[in-house]
């Protein structure tokens, strides 16, 4: 089974010219990595043009955030249908940076449900801000999952990708251990099974949080994840190519 990599460019790069250059390098990395399905999430303002110049089938596109609303008086927001019209097949939902700006568990749940109705695959991000020894992080993740899947029909559970991102690791170079991630993989599946039934066993789980070219392969082999959501390394063409090659 192919691994999944989501290249989340965040608010990078500055110009369309740079975005094209980065995309061309990313495309080469994808073409060489036969066992990886790549999803590129550029800034929304670059999405349509990058999609239009790509004729292949190896790369899909995602919008970094979207509203659950279909349209109307929502200045600055992008609807899922608008994102789909630009060529996005996926939408990142509940990213920690959006949650930090006020996106609630319930809001994320509405976006997940709206994405499925719109024919866009949600990439649901969950994860705790900090970790203590008393296991509170499990409660945080469980509540995020409960709200996110509240309006998802059992038959559509596997259409949601779940990306576990421990917020304390994001942006750094040191990921959590594959062993700890394996524990979380089991917990996420068990929680979704409890919410929606046995289909939860088949959900695809990604890891995000300091994913680099040096730690991706051990994480893939030992943690039970199906792939990664990659932040700062995805905008470094050389490092990203090495990462893709390492898991191919």
With bands split at pLDDT 50, 70 and 90, how would you rate the model's confidence at 48?
very high
Quick: pLDDT tens for 55-97: 999 999 999 999 999 999 999 999 999 999 999 999 999 999 9
* pLDDT(134) > 90: no
Catalytic residues: 95, 165
**How far is the C-alpha of 86 from the C-alpha of 70, rounded, in Å?**
15
Total domains, the chain = 1
Quote the Cα angle for 167-215-31, to 5°. Answer: 105
Packed helices 16-32 and 44-52: angle between N→C axes, nearest 10 degrees: 60
Domain hosting residue 155, numbered range: 3-246
Q: pLDDT tens for residues 202-233?
A: 999 999 999 999 999 999 999 999 999 999 99
CATH number at 177 reads: 3.20.20.70
Residue 67 per-residue DSSP state: B
- Determine the average pLDDT of the residues in 134-139: 92
């Amino acid at each position: 089974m192919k691994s999944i990599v989501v290249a989340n460019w965040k608010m990078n790069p500055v110009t369309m010219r740079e975005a094209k250059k980065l995309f061309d390098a990313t495309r080469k990395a994808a073409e060489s990595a036969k066992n990886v399905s790549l999803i590129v999430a550029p800034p929304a303002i670059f999405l349509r043009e990058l999609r239009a110049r790509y004729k292949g089938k190896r790369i899909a596109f995602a919008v970094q955030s979207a509203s659950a609303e279909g349209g109307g008086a929502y200045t600055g927001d992008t609807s899922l249908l608008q994102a789909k019209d630009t060529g996005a097949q996926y939408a990142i939902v509940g990213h920690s940076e959006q949650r930090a700006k006020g996106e609630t568990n319930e809001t994320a749940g509405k976006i997940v449900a709206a994405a499925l109705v719109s024919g866009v695959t949600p990439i649901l991000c969950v994860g705790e801000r900090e970790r203590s020894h008393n296991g509170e992080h499990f409660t945080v993740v469980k509540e995020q999952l409960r709200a996110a899947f509240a309006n998802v029909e059992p038959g559509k559970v596997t259409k949601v990708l779940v990306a576990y991102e421990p917020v304390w690791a994001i942006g750094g170079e040191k990921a959590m251990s594959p062993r700890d991630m394996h524990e979380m993989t089991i917990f996420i599946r068990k929680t979704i099974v409890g919410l929606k039934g046995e289909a939860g066993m088949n959900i695809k789980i990604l890891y995000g949080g300091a994913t680099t070219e040096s730690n991706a392969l051990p994480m893939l082999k030992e943690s039970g994840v199906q792939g990664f959501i990659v932040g700062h390394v995805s905008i470094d063409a050389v490092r990203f190519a090495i990462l893709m090659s390492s898991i191919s």
